[in-house]
Amino acid sequence: MFVGHLGLALAAKRLAPRTSLGTLVVATSLVDLLWPLLLLAGVERVRIAPSPNPFLALEFESYPVSHAALLVALWAAAFAAAYLARTRYPRGAAVAGALVASHWLLDAISHRPDLPVWPGGPKVGLGLWGSVPAAVAVELVIFAAGLALYAGSTRARDALGRWALAGWAALLLLVYAGSFLGPPPPSVAAIAVANLLGGALTVAWAAWLDRHRDPASAPAAAPGGA
């Protein structure tokens, strides 16, 4: 999944209003931010296997460090602990940790049985990606619901707060459409670099737009105020 993960990050803002959307996006995307680094280091492996189904164009040969359920649970605990140590915001730490763990659960719904439960252990996957229409529909519903919850639990502080959110959502949908309508990636290195650059842009934009929005329950800022 792609926008489905981000839909959960958007929805989570309602549960942890003091946590930046950028942090929530990092949490829900953490294992996919680690994965390209591990690909480039040769620790994990993926193979390009062109298929009529664009969601099945990659064969995930080995990714136990980033995507094994046991390791994801450890990444979730570590991320929550680091966030708590930095912010002293227990609710935000709990939500961030849950988002890290949620990534594996959504992937287990989408992937073929290639997600390890632990390194070297059994692999699972319900295979939603086997149906392009179903996969797209599920992701778009999750993303739309998350976007609605985020928009309802925050309000724009200024014009940037309105248009930056709309632009971010539009860009994500364009990238998502390109992922299954465009050609197969040219190389594994290109996949890794594109994921790193795209992830950095997604996180930075989310953090930026969130600074221009306030919790809906907060008093409205005076015109021209900070």
How large is the greatest C-alpha to C-alpha distance in the chain, in angstroms? 58
**C-alpha–C-alpha distance, residues 138 and 200, integer Å:** 25
Which residues, in sequence order, are bridge partners of residue 58? 48
SS3 89: coil
Give the DSSP H/E element, type plus range, for residue 156: strand 154-156
Are 107 and 1 contacting, i.e. CB atoms less than 8 angstroms apart? yes
Q: What mean pLDDT comes out for the span 138-166? A: 96
Structure letter (DSSP) for residue 163 = H
- Give the Cα separation of 200 and 218 in Å (integer): 29
CA–centroid distance for 76 within its chain: 14
Q: Which two tokens stand for residue 73?
A: 């649970």
Counting residues of the chain whose pLDDT is more than 70, the rounded percentage is 96
Query: Is the Cβ–Cβ distance between 37 and 200 less than 8 Å?
Result: no
Give φ, ψ of 58 to 5 degrees.
-120, 135
Q: Is the pLDDT of residue 45 over 60?
A: yes
Whole-structure pTM value: 0.93
Model pLDDT, residue 10: 98
* Cα dihedral across residues 85, 89, 90, 94: positive or negative: negative
Q: State the pairing for strand pair 213-215/45-48.
A: unpaired
Supply the angle between the helices 69-87 and 90-110 in degrees, to the nearest 10: 160
**Antiparallel, parallel or unpaired: β 115-116 and 58-62:** unpaired
Instruction: Please give the pLDDT value at position 150.
Output: 98
Residue 51 per-residue DSSP state = -
> What are the structural domain ranges in the chain?
3-215
Tokens representing 225 are 């105020």
Which of 43-47, 115-119, 131-135, 182-186 is predicted with the least confidence, judged by mean pLDDT? 182-186
Over residues 64-90, the mean pLDDT reads: 98
